[in-house]
Amino acid sequence: MTRRYIVVGNGPAGVSAAETIRRHDGAGVVTIVGDEKVPFYSRPGLAYLLTGTIPEKMLFSRPETEYARQRLQREVGAVQAIDRGGHRVTLQGGRTLPYDRLLLAVGARALRPRIPGIELEGVVSLDNLEDARRILRLARRARRACVVGGGITAVELAEGLAAQHLETHYLMRKDRYWGGVLEPAESALIEDRLTGERIRLHRQTDLAAVVGRRGRVAAVETQSGERLPCDLLAVAIGTAPRVELARQAGLATGRGILTDAEFRTEDPDIFAAGDVAEVFDPATGEHVLDSLWSVAIEQGRAAGQNLAGAAQPYRRQAPFNVTRIGGVTTTLIGAVGSGGRDDDLVALARGDSQAWRQRLDAFAVVSDEGANRVRLHLGREHVVGAMVMGDQTLSRPLQQMIRDRVDIRPVRERLLRDPAHMAQVVLSLANPEAHGAR
Partner 1 sequence: MLGGLLRRDSQRRQAMAAGVVVPEPERCVECGICTFNCPLGIDVRAHARVGKAVSDGYCLTCGDCVARCPRGTLRLETTDVFEASRGLDGR
Chain residues in the site for partner 1 (CB under 8 A): 42-45, 48, 53-55, 58-62, 293-294, 298, 320, 322-324, 329, 331, 392, 395-396
Tell the smallest beta-carbon distance from residue 152 to partner 1 (Å). Answer: 12
Q: How far apart are CA 297 and CA 319, in angstroms?
A: 12
Measured from the CB atom, is 70 or 329 closer to partner 1? 329
Task: Give the distance from CA 126 to its chain's centroid.
Answer: 12
Task: Give the distance from CA 91 to its chain's centroid.
Answer: 27
Measured from the CB atom, is 60 or 74 closer to partner 1? 60
Look at residue 226 and give its three-state secondary structure: coil
Backbone angles phi, psi at 206, to 5 degrees: -110, 130
The CB density around residue 197, as the number of other CB atoms within 10 Å, is 14
Tell the smallest beta-carbon distance from residue 50 to partner 1 (Å). Answer: 12
Tell the smallest beta-carbon distance from residue 129 to partner 1 (Å). Answer: 13
CA 52 → CA 49, 132, 322, 338, 370, distances in Å?
5, 11, 20, 33, 29
Closest by CA position to 127, among listed 7, 38, 236, 232: 236
Look at residue 293 and give its three-state secondary structure: helix
The count of residues in the chain is 438
Measured from the CB atom, is 45 or 151 closer to partner 1? 45
Q: How far apart are CA 186 and CA 192, in angstroms?
A: 10
Tell the smallest beta-carbon distance from residue 58 to partner 1 (Å). Answer: 4
Tell the smallest beta-carbon distance from residue 393 to partner 1 (Å). Answer: 10
**For residue 385, which amino acid is it?**
G
Measured from the CB atom, is 73 or 393 closer to partner 1? 393
Q: How far apart are CA 408 and CA 232, in angstroms?
A: 50
Tell the smallest beta-carbon distance from residue 48 to partner 1 (Å). Answer: 5
Tell the smallest beta-carbon distance from residue 313 to partner 1 (Å). Answer: 20
Measured from the CB atom, is 54 or 211 closer to partner 1? 54
DSSP structure class, residue 243: -
Measured from the CB atom, is 193 or 264 closer to partner 1? 193
Sheet holding 88-91, edge to edge: 79-83, 88-91, 96-98
Tell the smallest beta-carbon distance from residue 325 to partner 1 (Å). Answer: 10
Cβ proximity of 423 and 394 under 8 Å:
yes
Measured from the CB atom, is 5 or 40 closer to partner 1? 40
Tell the smallest beta-carbon distance from residue 189 to partner 1 (Å). Answer: 16
DSSP H or E stretch at residue 88: strand 88-91
Tell the smallest beta-carbon distance from residue 372 to partner 1 (Å). Answer: 12
Q: How far apart are CA 318 and CA 325, in angstroms?
A: 21
Measured from the CB atom, is 73 or 323 closer to partner 1? 323
Cβ proximity of 340 and 179 under 8 Å:
yes
Measured from the CB atom, is 62 or 203 closer to partner 1? 62
Measured from the CB atom, is 55 or 285 closer to partner 1? 55
How do 144-149 and 167-171 pair as beta strands? Answer: parallel
CA 333 → CA 121, 353, 377, distances in Å?
38, 10, 10
